[in-house]
């Protein structure tokens, strides 16, 4: 049986299959295996993009609201970007380990499959 949405091995392509309770093993394997290199590449790209924006944000004061103003609140966008980037340090390993556990859980054979082998 063919399933629509097999063109890309990502989560959205498995949605049509999951609606009919038939997700091909290849699609599940691709979804839970390709993240091992795609996730770090995506995070690196995001961090490099944020890092490249920092000089422009500092020079222009983009999205920053210094005091005094009507609301009596200040916001420093470059500082927010730096804190956001530093936030990846503790969260990236946790999220990556979580995905590895999910991969093990989804791709590991069930006890019934082990008996048949």
**Residues with catalytic function:** 39, 46
DSSP state of 108: S
> Residue 6 half-sphere exposure, CB side, CA atoms within 13 Å?
13
Alpha helix segments (H runs only) across the chain: 11-19, 25-33, 35-60, 77-86, 88-107, 111-116
Backbone angles phi, psi at 8, to 5 degrees: -120, 140
Q: Which of 55, 49, 47 is nearest to 78 (CA)?
A: 55
């Amino acid at each position: 049986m063919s399933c629509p949405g097999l063109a890309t091995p990502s989560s959205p392509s498995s949605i049509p299959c999951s609606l009919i309770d038939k997700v091909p093993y290849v699609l599940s394997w691709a979804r839970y295996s390709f993240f091992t290199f795609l996730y770090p590449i995506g995070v690196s790209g995001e961090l490099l993009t944020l890092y490249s924006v920092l000089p422009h944000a500092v020079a222009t004061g983009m999205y920053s609201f210094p005091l005094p103003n009507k609301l009596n609140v200040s916001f420093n966008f470059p500082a927010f970007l730096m804190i956001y980037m530093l936030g990846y340090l503790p969260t990236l390993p946790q999220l990556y380990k979580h995905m590895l556990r999910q991969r093990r859980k989804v791709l590991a054979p069930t006890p019934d499959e082990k008996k048949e082998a």
